[in-house]
Amino acid sequence: MRKLPRSLRFYVAASTLYAAVVFFAVQFIYTIELAQSGIFIATRDNGNVLSSIEIVSFIVWLGISLIAAAVLHRLATALAGARSAEAQAKTSKEVKDQELGAIFGLSAALAGPLDLEQIGRYFVAAVRGGLALDTTIALIVYDDVLEAFRTIAADGPRATGLKGSYSAVALPSIIRVRVIDHRQALVLADTSVDPVMWAKVAEELPALGAARSFVALPLVSRERLVGALLLLGERAGDLSPDRAQLPVIMGQYVAGSIHSALSVKEADARAEREALVNRIAQRARASLDPDEILRGTVDELSKVLGVSRGIVSVGETEDELTVLYEWDAPGVPPVGRGARSLPVARFAARLGRTVVVRDVRQDQRFAEQDTGTTAQIGVVAVAATPIRVGGQLAGAITLSQIDRAREWTADDVRLLEAVAQELRVAITAAEAFERQRTAVVELERLNQAKSDFVSIVSHEFRTPLTGIQGFSEMMQSEDLTLDEMREYAGDINKDAHRLNRMITEMLDLDKMESGRMQLHREPLDLNAIVSDVVDRVRPNAPEHPVSLRLDPLVGELNGDRDKLTQVMANLLSNAVKYSPKGGEIVVSTRAEGDSAHVVVRDHGMGIPKASLEAIFERYGRVESPATRHIQGTGLGLPIVRQIVQLHGGTVWAESNVGEGSVFHITLPRGAALSSAVAEAAS
Ligand code: ADP
């Protein structure tokens, strides 16, 4: 038998009790009323009549009680039903109110100007309200600057795997086609319904693999796809078309805000880029120092783009490209100036356009090139653009990312090319400036040489000329004896010779320095030349005993007799001239391997160490009180050096002031000579 509801049992019991009480009360009153009216039940009646009346009444009452109980139960149930319906209506209204409140709350929160991260936080918090507590929510936006999707907010147990940025191609194909391309929602209440499809999704984006239910909603504002909302349920059925409704509505609100924030960000980025290019352009135009331009340009570009290394290489052909300047992020090892391992820059130079490489290790174009070297220095992603000046390759800029692949955006490329353009202008200007500077330096040098020449001429030429003038005037105006005449004529002749020598020396040096001097070579005995010169000097230098130490092994060499005689004469006359107090002069020759070594040692005033090189320069003279009265042109030693070098030899001096000087000459002998001469001539 079906069990009666408790409420009905209660009503039956209450009605029965009530009926019993009423029955006994009626029975009691009925009996008293009968007694008072003197009616007694006959004793013969053994109670049957009375009992039958009582039983009938009881049954009637019981029946009425049951009916009453049933009616009351119905009434009570109906009343309770009406109450719960009212309560239910009230709850669903509350939910709706709550949802509406959440939507209004979100739209109010999004009313002000916000950055993407703030928008993301508000949105995720608002969406969370209508979902199972352990649902993972991720909001990804399409960042135009990065040209990739970027997670701006993620919350829930699987949030970590969804953070970061991914290119559109990195998204699972079903999301890419359905949500991104066709802008339709993808709702999978149970991902295990199509295990093959879901396995593919998990393979393409492993962070989604564990979701048992999944929703991906496109976020579209003013025809532009600004991002997508991803929801990952832990259990099948956690997400359903019904449950996706609130996020869909909220998504419409948030898409507008994301759109505005992105537009602001893009405008900012564009403005920043333009400002950078302007700064670089200004700096490049303001400075003419190529090093300064490179520093300012490459450093700033590299920092703005956040690369690990920025390199400017120069070269007129792709194979000549060598590192001229580099900027390295802290901790990044430098490639080194002059390095040549620039396969991407070379490739860009060959193609004549910018080349970007996401990951060098996976790029077929560089598989056969020397990526070994590139990999060694840890480069993964590279962008390079050629610098051309007047249609001709001048160099390249290379930006590289160490240790990670990088998607180079169209913006990165535009910036790189803009900087290359500025660098081109700067390099051209700097080159012109450099040419001008060299010309100015050369002019200054010539000017200096001219004034040196004028001062030498005015001083050195004047002395013999004054002599010539004085003696000739005396000869003209005075009565002179024949002997006096001869003497004066001799003096005039000496001064004229000196003038002649000076002019010859100047012209000789000029000829030698400009490469117009020819050597008349012949086999000659160096020892013979040396002793010849010494013999000529001896009578004129009684205070300077000259000792000769000749090495017979020096033998013959191939040279210009007159020029080598001039060399020895210069050295010996200096040894005499700069030893005014006299002193021994030692001239020695020595055979040393393929060379002949000639040494002229004096015990004169000596030369300060600082001047040992300068005395071989044109007009290089030691200025001191001791040398002031010694006549000279400062051309003798430069001529010596020129002649010795034309013979393929070397000349140098050693000295201690006050102790004397030693002049060394080495000259190649035999076979060594001819090749050295050929080399010198070339
Ligand atoms: P100059 O005509 O002045 O002698 P040189 O070119 O021959 O020109 O010499 C250059 C300078 O080198 C001299 O002015 C002198 O100061 C120094 N010098 C050359 N030879 C000697 C020497 N043997 N001892 C000291 N100083 C010397």
- pLDDT tens per residue, range 125-168: 888 877 888 999 999 998 766 667 889 899 999 888 888 877 77
CA of 623 to the centre of ligand 1 (A): 10
Spatial separation of the C-alpha atoms in residues 64 and 60, rounded to whole Å: 6
Q: How confident is the model at residue 354 (pLDDT cuts 50, 70, 90)?
A: very high
What angle is formed at CA 77 by the lines to CA 74 and CA 83, rounded to 5 degrees? 140
pLDDT of 682 reads 45
What separation in angstroms does the CA of 625 have from each of 139, 581, 628? Answer: 90, 15, 5
Q: Cβ distance 587 to 598 under 8 Å?
A: yes
Q: d(Cα 140, Cα 92) in Å, to the nearest integer? A: 32
pLDDT digits (tens, 9 = 90+) for 506-549: 888 878 877 778 889 999 999 999 999 999 999 989 999 999 99
Q: What is the DSSP letter of 169?
A: G
Give the mean pLDDT of 64-73: 79
**In angstroms, rounded to a whole number, what is the distance separating the alpha carbons of residues 487 and 474?**
12
Question: For residue 127, what are its two tokens?
Answer: 């969406």
Give, using CA atoms, the residue closest to atom 23 of ligand 1: 575
- Output the residue whose Cα is nearest ligand 1's atom 21: 574
Cα(521) to centroid of ligand 1, in Å? 28
Phi/psi at 150 (5° precision): -135, 135
Average pLDDT over residues 364-374: 58
Q: Which two tokens stand for residue 249?
A: 């509505």
Over residues 321-346, the mean pLDDT reads 87
Q: What is the distance of C-alpha 440 from the center of its chain?
A: 36
- The full length of the chain comes to 682
Q: Which residues contact 395 (CB under 8 A, 6 or more apart)?
A: 312, 313, 314, 315, 321, 324, 386, 387, 427
Question: How far is residue 248's CA from residue 96's CA, in Å, rounded to a whole number?
Answer: 15
Provide DSSP, 471-482.
HHHHHHHS---H
**Whether the Cβ atoms of residue 569 and residue 533 lie closer than 8 Å to each other:** yes
Q: 331: buried, middle or exposed (CB in 10 Å: 19+, 13-18, 0-12)?
A: exposed
Q: Which residues pair with 224 in a beta bridge?
A: 221
Residue nearest to atom 20 of ligand 1 (CA): 574
Higher pLDDT, 660 or 84: 660
Q: What is the pLDDT of residues 396-426, one digit of tens each?
A: 999 999 878 888 888 888 889 888 888 877 6
How far is the centre of ligand 1, averaged over its atoms, from the C-alpha of 555 (Å)?
29
Which residue has its alpha carbon closest to ligand 1 atom 2?
632
Task: Specify whether the CB–CB gap between 520 and 646 falls below 8 A.
Answer: no
For residue 547, the SS3 value is strand
List of long-range contacts for 188-193, beta carbons under 8 Å, 24+ apart: 188/213, 188/214, 188/215, 188/239, 189/213, 189/236, 189/237, 189/239, 189/240, 189/241, 190/236, 190/237, 191/236, 192/236
Distance (angstroms) between ligand 1 centre and the Cα of 104 equals 100
Kindly tell me the sign of the dihedral angle through the C-alpha atoms of 281, 287, 293, 299. negative
Ligand 1: residues with CB < 6 A are 570, 574-575, 578, 602, 604-607, 615, 620-622, 627, 632-637, 661
User: Looking at residues 555-580, what average pLDDT do you find?
Assistant: 94
What is the pLDDT, as a whole number, of residue 145?
Answer: 60
Specify the range with the lowest mean pLDDT, choosing from 259-263, 545-549, 594-598, 609-613: 259-263
Q: How far apart are CA 114 and CA 122, in angstroms?
A: 10
Over range 1-15, report the average pLDDT.
67
Instruction: With cut-offs at 50, 70 and 90, classify the pLDDT of residue 89.
Output: low
Query: Residues 423, 312: contact at Cβ < 8 Å?
Result: yes
Q: Are 290 and 425 in contact (CB under 8 A)?
A: no
Distance 640 CA to ligand 1 centre (A): 11
CA of 561 to the centre of ligand 1 (A): 23
Mean pLDDT of 205-210: 88
Q: Which amino acid is at 343?
A: P
Question: What beta strand segments (E) does 100-168 contain?
Answer: 136-143, 148-155, 165-166
Look-up of token digits 């991260």 = 117
pTM for the predicted model, two decimal places: 0.43
Q: How far is the CA of 594 from the centre of ligand 1 (A)?
A: 29
pLDDT band at 1 (very low <50, low <70, confident <90, very high): very low
> Would you state the pLDDT for residue 28?
81
More confident residue, 505 or 578: 578
Burial of residue 536 (number of CB atoms within 10 Å: 0-12, 13-18, 19+): middle
Q: Is it the case that residue 676 has pLDDT exceeding 50? A: no
Residue 325 CA to residue 610 CA, distance in Å, equals 36
Residue 675: pLDDT over 50: no
Query: What's residue 164's pLDDT?
Result: 80
Centre of ligand 1 from the C-alpha of residue 619, in Å: 10
Percentage above 70 pLDDT, the chain? 90
DSSP category for residue 398: E
In the chain, the amino acid numbered 342 is L
Residue to probe by mutation, ligand 1, list 502, 566, 613, 615, most atoms within 8 Å of CB: 615
Torsion of CA 436, 438, 442, 447, to 10 degrees: 50
CA distance 421 to 276: 13
Whether residue 649 is predicted with pLDDT greater than 90 in this model: the reply is yes
Query: Strand, coil or helix: what is 328?
Result: strand
Question: Taking all residues of the chain, what is their mean pLDDT, rounded to a whole number?
Answer: 83
> How far is the centre of ligand 1, averaged over its atoms, from the C-alpha of 389 (Å)?
50
Residue 528 CB neighbours (<10 A): 12
Ligand 1: which of 546, 603, 607, 631 to mutate, judged by most atoms within 8 Å of the beta carbon?
607
User: Among 509, 566, 621, which residue has the most ligand 1 atoms within 8 Å of its CB, making it the best to mutate?
Assistant: 621
- Of the residues 585, 623, 635, 637, which should be mutated to test ligand 1's pocket, given the most ligand atoms within 8 Å of the CB? 637
Query: Is pLDDT above 80 for 583?
Result: yes
Contact indicator for 129, 102 with CB cutoff of 8 Å: yes
d(CA 314, CA 277): 21
Kindly indicate the confidence band of residue 41, based on its pLDDT and cuts at 50, 70 and 90: low
Residue nearest to atom 7 of ligand 1 (CA): 636
Tell me which residue has its CA closest to atom 14 in ligand 1: 621
State the distance from the centre of ligand 1 to the C-alpha of 598, rounded, in angstroms: 18
Tokens 């209004």 correspond to what residue?
A: 104
Whether the CB-CB separation of 342 and 316 falls below 8 Å is answered with no
40-54, 80-94, 386-400, range with the lowest pLDDT: 40-54
Distance 450 CA to ligand 1 centre (A): 21
The per-residue pLDDT for range 601-635, each reduced to its tens digit, is 999 999 999 999 999 998 888 988 888 888 787 88
Per-residue model confidence (pLDDT) at position 270: 79
Q: Is 525 helix (H, G, I), strand (E, B) or coil?
A: strand
Strands (E), 450-608: 521-525, 546-549, 556-560, 585-592, 595-601
Instruction: List Cβ neighbours of 501 (8 Å cut-off, separation of 6 or more).
Output: none
| 522 SS3 class | strand
- List Cα–Cα distances, 265 to 220, 261, 272, in angstroms: 18, 6, 10
Decide: 631 and 614 in contact? Cβ < 8 Å: no
Q: For position 377, what pLDDT does the model report?
A: 59
Residue 596 in 3-state DSSP?
Answer: strand
Give the Cα separation of 216 and 212 in Å (integer).
13
* Per-residue confidence (pLDDT) for residue 67, from 0 to 100: 84
Of 5-9, 27-31, 490-494, the least confident: 5-9
The whole-number pLDDT of residue 54 equals: 67
- Alpha-carbon distance of 563 to 511, in angstroms, equals 13
Helix (H, G, I), strand (E, B) or coil at 597: strand
Query: Judging by beta carbons within 10 Å of its beta carbon (0-12, 13-18, 19+), is residue 270 exposed, middle or buried?
Result: middle
CB-CB contact of 110 with 127 (8 Å) = no
Cβ-in-10-Å burial (0-12, 13-18, 19+) of 431 comes to middle
How many other β-carbons are positioned within 10 Å of the β-carbon of residue 177? 13
What atom in ligand 1 is closest to the CA of residue 605? 25
Alpha helices in 359-481 (DSSP H): 371-376, 410-456, 462-477
3-state secondary structure of 550: coil
Residue pLDDT, tens place only, 90-125: 677 777 777 777 777 777 777 666 778 888 888 888
